[in-house]
């Protein structure tokens, strides 16, 4: 039985450490400048992890060469996927009643990674640009783009190729979980308490599967 070997590049470690240190420094500066109090440190850690992993995933993903038609189709799928994530994950928030909102721009001072979050509101919807969500969802969409291209060029059936992206729906399902369990206030409270934990685990697993793409025969190294 063969075992896949993971090759560690010293340059990758250096760049990874640089990104991590930069994020940590920016987080400290943000906390000092905003004067916010972090009551749940793990939320800040999760936010920084989303950004760190998202940046590395985009940097290390190199889509395979493909025809223009294939790249356009992959881009369309990636854009639709990003929009679905944005709608399910709270980046795009619709008003409870059409026309109930107001035009405006404000800055939400959330925990590092999730904030500072610019909020652009209109009478019909709002954009909540939490850095962790935006970077994370862009990374997932880019990985889906690369996966669709690989599936189109792989020596496997189209059905098997698409199965490699089943995990794409996990972040959407995790984001919608609290809405599905909305019948009980106790359940909603418990879901909210652990929503960041669940969504972070789902995000990391999805990034790993989309980067590795085991059903398409991709190997680390």
Distance (Å, whole) CA 59 – CA 68: 22
Structure tokens at 112: 């590092």
Asked whether 117 and 128 are in contact (CB, 8 A), the reply is yes
Distance (Å, whole) CA 75 – CA 54: 18
pLDDT of residue 178: 45
Range of the domain at 82: 10-216
How many CA atoms within 13 Å lie on the side-chain side of 114? 18
pLDDT of residue 7: 57
Q: Is 89 contained in some domain?
A: yes
Whether residue 17 is predicted with pLDDT greater than 50 in this model: the reply is: yes
Exposed / middle / buried, residue 44 (Cβ in 10 Å: 0-12, 13-18, 19+): buried
Q: Is 1 contained in some domain?
A: no
Q: What is the rounded average pLDDT of the residues 118-144?
A: 90
How many of the other CB atoms lie within 10 Å of CB of 190? 13
Q: Is 79 contained in some domain?
A: yes
Secondary structure class of 139 (helix, strand, coil): helix
Where in 70-161 does DSSP place strands (E)? 92-94, 104-108, 117-121, 125-128
pLDDT of residue 100: 57
**Mean pLDDT, rounded, of the chain:** 76
pLDDT of residue 54: 95
Structure tokens at 92: 């795009």
Structure confidence by residue, pLDDT tens digits, 32-48: 998 888 888 888 999 99
Q: Is 38 contained in some domain?
A: yes
Structure confidence by residue, pLDDT tens digits, 138-177: 999 999 898 888 877 654 434 333 434 444 555 555 555 5
pLDDT of residue 203: 86
Percent with pLDDT over 90 in the chain: 25
Distance (Å, whole) CA 88 – CA 173: 8
Q: Is 154 contained in some domain?
A: yes
The three-point CA angle 23-24-25 to 5° equals 90
Q: Is 61 contained in some domain?
A: yes
Q: Specify the pTM.
A: 0.80
Q: Is 4 contained in some domain?
A: no
How many independent structural domains does the chain possess?
Answer: 1
Query: Considering only 57-61, 66-70, 80-84, 95-99, which range has the smallest mean pLDDT?
Result: 95-99
Q: Which residues contact 135 (CB under 8 A, 6 or more apart)?
A: 50, 51, 54, 55
DSSP secondary structure letter of residue 35? T
Asked whether 47 and 111 are in contact (CB, 8 A), the reply is yes
Q: Is 162 contained in some domain?
A: yes
């Amino acid at each position: 039985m063969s075992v896949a070997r993971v090759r560690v590049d010293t340059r990758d470690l250096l760049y990874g450490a640089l990104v991590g240190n930069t994020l940590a420094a920016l987080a400290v500066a943000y906390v000092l400048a905003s004067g916010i109090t972090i009551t749940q440190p793990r939320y800040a850690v999760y936010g920084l992890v989303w950004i760190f992993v998202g940046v590395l995933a985009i940097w290390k993903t190199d889509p395979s060469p493909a025809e223009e038609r294939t790249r356009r189709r992959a881009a369309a799928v990636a854009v639709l996927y990003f929009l679905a994530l944005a709608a399910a994950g709270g980046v795009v928030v619709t008003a409870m009643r059409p026309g109930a909102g107001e035009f405006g721009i404000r800055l939400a001072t959330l925990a590092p990674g999730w904030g500072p979050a610019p909020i652009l509101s209109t009478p019909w919807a709002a954009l909540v640009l939490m850095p962790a969500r935006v970077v994370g969802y862009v990374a997932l969409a880019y990985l889906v783009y690369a996966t669709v291209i690989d599936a189109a060029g792989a020596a496997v059936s189209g059905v098997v190729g698409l199965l490699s992206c089943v995990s794409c729906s996990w972040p959407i399902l995790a984001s919608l979980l609290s809405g599905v369990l909305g019948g009980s206030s106790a359940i909603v409270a418990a879901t909210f308490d652990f929503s960041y934990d669940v969504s972070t685990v789902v995000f990391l697993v999805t990034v790993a599967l989309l980067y590795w793409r085991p059903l398409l025969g991709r190997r680390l190294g």
